[in-house]
Amino acid sequence: MIPELRQLIEELRADLADQPASLAWAEFGEGAAIDAVPVGLPADLRDLLLAADGLRGGRVELASTSTLAGMQYHLDYAPDFSSIPEDRAGWLVVGTRSDEPIFMDRGTGAIWYFPPNGTEWFMSDAFEELAPDLGSFVDYYLLGPGYAELTPADDQWFAYLDEQGLLDEDDEDVT
């Protein structure tokens, strides 16, 4: 994880701690202890868990060390057309968007999802790459202007990102 993204996470975590009501719409865990992070995780995910053991901003939530294993059941429901059933071990569920899974391709580190198309994700006919890596996903979709692309309406997290000046695409240079 690049130092600028780690610093942004730390700054936002400190700011959110000063706003107790934010627990309803945002929560940034403290970094996990190195021995708590499961062995064999992709480097990007491992680095993120060491910086923040679980991240939730509005409708996007990234797993913590204690919730990661429990999210993997989503792999069992992936539609046959996607590459997940052919290579289940090559994928990892790293979080959710409005209760729908966000996947990481273990081989490339790319982040994938089933984009909204009027049907449940497990019956979808579209599976798309969302970001080339986890750091880019966090920077753009969780902490930046891409959040609005993933969510159906403005919410408190979106308003918070706006207040922090994080929705201006011209300022996006952390990736």
Q: What is the pLDDT of residue 170?
A: 61
Q: What is the 3-state secondary structure (H, E, C) of the chain?
A: CCHHHHHHHHHHHHHHHCCHHHHHCEEECCCCCHHHCCCCCCHHHHHHHHHCCCEEECCEEECCCCCHHHHHHHHHHCCCCCCCHHHHHHEEEEEEECCEEEEEECCCCCEEECCCCCCCHHHCCCCEEEECCHHHHHHHHHCCCCHHHHCCCCCHHHHHHHHCCCCCHHHCCCC
Cβ proximity of 53 and 36 under 8 Å: yes
For the stretch 15-55, pLDDT in tens is 999 888 888 899 999 999 999 999 999 999 999 999 999 99
Residue with tokens 């942004």: 8
Question: With 60 as the cut, is the pLDDT of residue 175 above it?
Answer: no
* pLDDT (average), residues 2-14: 92
Report the C-alpha gap between 158 and 43 in whole angstroms.
Answer: 28
Q: What is the pLDDT of residue 2?
A: 83
Question: With 50 as the cut, is the pLDDT of residue 112 above it?
Answer: yes
Here the tokens at position 24 are 């309803």
**Class of residue 107 by CB neighbours under 10 A (exposed 0-12, middle 13-18, buried 19+):** exposed
The domain segmentation of the chain, as residue ranges, is: 3-157
Question: With 70 as the cut, is the pLDDT of residue 156 above it?
Answer: yes
What would the CATH number be for the domain defined by 3-157?
Answer: 3.40.1580.10
Q: pTM of this prediction?
A: 0.91
Cβ proximity of 74 and 93 under 8 Å: yes
Return mean pLDDT, the chain: 91
For the stretch 81-101, pLDDT in tens is 888 999 999 999 999 999 899
